[in-house]
Amino acid sequence: MAIYSEFSDAELMLLLSGSDGLAFAEIYQRYTGALFIHAYRILGDEEEAKDVIQELFAVLWIKRNTIVLRTSLSSYLYSSVKNRILDLIAHKKVEDRYVRSLGRFIDEGEYVTDQQVREKELSELIEREVALLPPRMREVFELSRRDNLSYKEIAEELNISDKTVKKQVNSALSILRQKLDIAFLCAFFLRFL
């Protein structure tokens, strides 16, 4: 009966490629402790280190027929552990960024989105109410608020007095205020129905 602990790494890999379970067990026994310590030193987390080592040996068994060593078995195993740790760290960074991004969206996104929707609705409501103003009053109001013209500039453009412009703007604001107050009250009460 063969004593697997006496075989070299190269002999064990040859036997492993032929699906020899005892060769796999010997490789596992020979390297698992040192690889675990190596992984644990880098990761600082016992469970993550165990997972890395378990995954490494699972892949070693699955790919046993296709693995071609260009260096020693120990170099291959240590490189594999290092690569798995780097993948794990990269995955954790991506995951952390995603979680932070999701957290920001939850914290700020809903508020921003809700606020933007409300601002858009309010803007549309104001536009509808301005469109319902009498034509001359709407024209004066739009020149005042949208075009930022002074009362004097509006009076000159429309060939009316400054007092008429002031009265038209004040009337428009009064009408809009009343209609918007009613709309806000309705919206407020509809939320509680």
Q: Model pTM?
A: 0.50
Residue 80, domain member (yes or no): yes
- Domain assignment present for 103: no
Q: Is 153 contained in some domain? A: yes
Cα angle 171-122-133, degrees, rounded to a multiple of 5: 30
Range of the domain at 154: 132-190
- Per the structure, the count of domains in the chain is 2
Which CATH number is 51's domain given? 1.10.1740.10
d(CA 161, CA 96): 65
Mean pLDDT, contiguous 10-residue spans, the chain (193 residues): 85 90 92 92 89 92 88 90 85 68 60 64 76 85 81 87 86 77 56 44
Question: What pLDDT shows up at residue 58?
Answer: 92
Place of tokens 């608020």: 145
CATH value at residue 155: 1.10.10
* pLDDT recorded at residue 133: 83
